[in-house]
Amino acid sequence: DGNGENVMNPTTIVNIEEGGYMEMETVQIKGIDSTNRVTKAKLDKDAKIVITERLLTHGNQVATTRFDVDMNGEGSSANVVSRSVAKNNSKQTFYSVNNKCNGHSECDAIIMDNAKISAIPEITANHLEASLIHEAAIGKIAGEQLIKLQTLGLTEEEAEEQIVNGFLR
């Protein structure tokens, strides 16, 4: 009847062979009431993957992202970056799982209103030479940023919109 929820739960499976390279970008800007996005990647020797996520939730939307990267090949590497904004009463959860070799996972988020954001790293090293990093930062829009844009003639709402748009680029 058109009154139901808009739900999307995709699973992406990637296998990168020796020396292979892949860049992947996922974007969700509003529009989905509930989502559970799963990306699983297996990397062979010297394989590399770069994953970038941009996410904006609002209202009562719920979004869960899980990146599970197995870097079992010698010299393999992964770089996973999530930039997200949660507004109103929306909820976001970010899981990043990396194993073995060189991995970097980064979650930067802006929280607004009554929203909730969780960044949950799970990093497992199975080799003496493993180098794994997880960074997470969740915060509000800085007041001085809003004031600066308002002195240039923007309303508070316009200033917030400009900051969010720039952050998600």
DSSP string, 22-37: EEEEEEEES--SEEEE
Q: What is the mean pLDDT of residues 86-105?
A: 81
In whole numbers, what is the pLDDT of the chain averaged over residues?
A: 87
Structure token pair of residue 90:
């929306």
Q: Where are the alpha helices (DSSP H) in the chain?
A: 143-151, 156-168
Q: CA 131, 135, 138 angle in degrees (round to 5)?
A: 170
Confidence of residue 74 (pLDDT cuts 50, 70, 90): confident
The single-letter code of the amino acid at 8 is M
Residue 106: its pLDDT value, please? Answer: 85
Question: Quick check: 91 pLDDT over 80?
Answer: yes
- Asked whether the beta carbons of 14 and 41 are under 8 A apart, the reply is yes
Tokens 């952050």, residue located = 167
Residue 113: its pLDDT value, please? Answer: 92
The single-letter code of the amino acid at 4 is G
Question: Quick check: 99 pLDDT over 60?
Answer: no
